[in-house]
């Protein structure tokens, strides 16, 4: 089974499968900002980043999307949660011992999956997706030239002002797969063991812990 560990090894979590449901790349400021926030607290940063800042990113972050079933193998009391800004519904899970970003959860995932960044090298026992990342999101958000070009062989996608998605040639195929395998479909299997992200979040709150809001 795929496992995810914080940098110091205190927190160790397990997913019920070796393979993520899908993967995609993201260039957006929010995805990089939540990792940069922890890097400024001493946690690991994205590769090739010497200054922990969302404005200093030079390549997209690759996110693997695993089924939302999480077994805590160790360090459950060192798990923390935070939001990047007040009013956000995109929750982030990290380790309090070494400030390692572990995974993120968004209402867009319909409770089915969680996103784990590949580049932080926190994962082990993972079977790489055969088709690689399906989309590169928000390429215009990258402050400089993106490694391998802004599109390469991968379709890019972004949202219009009305919230509807659009993109470069072929984006609909990757978007459709993400909708089926990650976001809109009921991908949880009855035999999958472990807690959902929200279960761990509610347990955290029940212990009297507060969710940090980075920017109020």
Structure confidence by residue, pLDDT tens digits, 26-79:
888 888 889 989 998 999 988 765 445 556 667 788 999 999 999 999 999 999
Q: Are 67 and 105 in contact (CB under 8 A)?
A: no
Q: Which has more pLDDT, 149 or 6?
A: 6
Average pLDDT over the chain, rounded to an integer: 85
Grouping H, G, I as helix, E, B as strand and the rest as coil, residue 55 is helix
Q: Give me the pLDDT at residue 131, please.
A: 74
For 140, residues 6+ apart whose C-beta sits below 8 A from its C-beta are 27, 158
- What mean pLDDT comes out for the span 93-106? 96
Handedness of CA 110, 197, 33, 24 (dihedral sign): negative
Residues 2, 74: Cα–Cα separation, whole Å: 15
Q: Give me the pLDDT at residue 208, please.
A: 95
Q: Which has more pLDDT, 216 or 176?
A: 176
Q: Give me the pLDDT at residue 103, please.
A: 96
Residue 145: how many other CB atoms lie within 10 Å: 10
CA atoms within 13 A on the CB side of 25: 28
Q: Give me the pLDDT at residue 144, please.
A: 62
Instruction: Name the H helices within 61-161.
Output: none
Q: Looking at the predicted structure, is the pLDDT value of residue 207 above 90?
A: yes
Of the pLDDT bands very low, low, confident and very high (cuts 50, 70, 90), residue 150 is: very low
Q: Give me the pLDDT at residue 45, please.
A: 84
Planar angle of CA 188, 66, 127, nearest 5 degrees = 120
Q: Which has more pLDDT, 189 or 77?
A: 77
- In this prediction the pTM is 0.88
Torsion angle of alpha carbons 24, 30, 35, 37, nearest 10°?
180
For 114, residues 6+ apart whose C-beta sits below 8 A from its C-beta are 65, 66, 68, 70, 103, 104, 105, 197
Q: Give me the pLDDT at residue 63, please.
A: 92
Q: Which has more pLDDT, 111 or 47?
A: 111
């Amino acid at each position: 089974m795929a496992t995810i560990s914080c940098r110091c090894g205190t927190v160790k979590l397990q997913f019920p499968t070796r393979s993520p449901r899908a993967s995609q790349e993201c260039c957006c400021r929010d995805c990089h900002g939540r990792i940069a926030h922890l890097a400024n607290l001493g946690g690991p940063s994205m590769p090739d980043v010497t200054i922990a800042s969302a404005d200093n990113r030079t390549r997209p972050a690759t996110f693997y999307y695993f089924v939302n079933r999480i077994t805590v193998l160790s360090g459950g009391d060192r798990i923390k949660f935070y939001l990047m800004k007040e009013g956000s519904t995109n929750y982030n899970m990290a380790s309090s011992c070494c400030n390692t970003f572990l995974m993120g959860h968004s209402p867009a995932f319909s409770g089915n999956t969680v996103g784990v960044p590949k580049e932080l090298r926190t994962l082990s026992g993972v079977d790489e997706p055969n088709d690689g990342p399906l989309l590169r999101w928000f390429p215009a958000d990258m402050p400089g030239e993106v490694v391998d070009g802004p599109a390469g062989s991968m379709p890019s996608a972004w949202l219009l002002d009305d919230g509807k998605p659009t993109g470069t040639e072929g984006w609909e195929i990757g978007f459709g797969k993400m909708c089926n395998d990650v976001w809109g479909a009921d991908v949880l299997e009855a035999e999958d063991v472990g807690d959902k992200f929200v279960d761990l979040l509610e347990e955290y709150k029940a212990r009297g812990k507060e969710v940090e809001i980075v920017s109020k």
